[in-house]
Amino acid sequence: MTYLVAPNRIAREMDKVFNSLFGGRSNGCTDLDCFTPRVNIVETENDVALTFEVPGLDKSDIKVTVSDGILSVSGERKNEQSEKGKRFVRNEFAYGKFSRTFTVPDNFDAGKISADYRNGLLVVSIPRKEESKPKEIKVKVG
């Protein structure tokens, strides 16, 4: 099983620990005023796919980069402004800039990463290198 490491997740978890001990918000965010998309990571024998929940974003609001074995997905969900004559009575949507980073393991081909966005989901696929794919070896009976 291959695991992708999300360094910023460790930082968020540490923030939670410090916040619970000292009663503050070290990153200045509450659950409602910072947007961090959730991600599912699924591995097959051919690739690994990261699926991000990013409803309400346009394709142009999302940036996917890879450099030195680090995959970064960033973007921004902009706050909806009240239209003239209307005001929010309650606004629980989270807004803001986000950035998620993951280390691409050596047995995956960072040069062939692809991304597809539809219906509020961003799917980033990272194929395995051919030499790291499982191979079946036939056993001869002799």
In a domain, residue 115? The reply is yes
- The predicted structure's pLDDT at residue 54: 94
In a domain, residue 85? The reply is no
Asked whether the whole model's pTM tops 0.75, one would answer no
Percentage of the chain lying above the pLDDT 90 cut: 45
- Mean predicted confidence (pLDDT) in 90-110: 89
Q: pLDDT, tens digit, for every residue of 14-66?
A: 666 655 555 444 445 555 557 889 999 999 989 999 999 999 899 999 999 99
Whether the per-residue pLDDT at 131 is higher than 90: the answer is no
Q: Which of 81, 126, 74 is nearest to 101 (CA)?
A: 74
In a domain, residue 95? The reply is yes
- Mean predicted confidence (pLDDT) in 90-101: 88
- The predicted structure's pLDDT at residue 27: 46
In a domain, residue 112? The reply is yes
User: What residue numbers bound the domain in which 73 lies?
Assistant: 7-79+91-129
Q: CA-to-CA distance for 94 and 122, rounded, in angstroms? A: 18
Q: Which of 128, 138, 142, 136 is nearest to 45 (CA)?
A: 128
In a domain, residue 140? The reply is no
Q: CA-to-CA distance for 87 and 54, rounded, in angstroms? A: 24
The confidence band for 101, taking pLDDT boundaries of 50, 70 and 90, is: very high
Q: What is the CATH number of the domain that holds 105?
A: 2.60.40.790
The count of domains in the chain is 1
Whether the per-residue pLDDT at 125 is higher than 80: the answer is yes
In a domain, residue 20? The reply is yes
Instruction: Tell me which residue has tokens 């968020």.
Output: 12
In a domain, residue 2? The reply is no
